[in-house]
Amino acid sequence: MLKSVQKLAKEQDIPCQISLEEKMGCGIGACLGCAVKTSNSPADNPSYLHVCKAGPVFDSSTVEI
């Protein structure tokens, strides 16, 4: 569902925020478990944000889900 909303927002150029879930170890930004890939980083050298600290709500244009 989030993927579809993200896609629709992009197509229609609508500002959109999405609330992500990911399994967490510590929940405070230390273990780096709850990673989400940033949309502007290359697949062979990905950059990750972490849902516990950078999220859980993200601008839908900034993350790859």
Partner 1 sequence: MNTKINFAGIEMKNPVTVASGTFGYGREFAQFIDLNKLGGIITKGTSLKPRSGNKPSRVCETASGMLNSIGLQNPGVEYFAATDLPWLRKFDTAIIVNACGSSIDEYVDLCRILNTLDIDGVELNLSCPNVKSGCLAFGTTYEGVKEVTSAVRKVLDKPLIVKLTPNVTDIASISKAVEDAGADAVSLINTLLGMSIDIHTKRPKLANNTGGLSGPAIKPVAVRMVYQVAQKVNIPILGMGGIINGDDAIEFMLAGANAISIGAGNFINPATSINTISEIEDYMKKYKIENISDIVGKVEMNIN
> Can the peptide bond before residue 56 be classed as cis, meaning omega within 30 degrees of 0?
yes
Nearest of 58, 61, 52, 44 to residue 26 by alpha carbon: 52
Residue 25 sits in the site that holds partner 1 (CB under 8 A): yes
End-to-end CA distance of the chain: 11
Is 46 a residue that touches partner 1 (CB under 8 A)? yes
Smallest gap, in angstroms, from Cβ of residue 23 to partner 1? 5
Of these, 2, 16, 37, 62, which contacts partner 1 (CB under 8 A)? Answer: 37
* 30 forms part of the interface with partner 1 (CB under 8 A): yes
Question: Site residues (CB under 8 A) for partner 1?
Answer: 22-37, 45-48
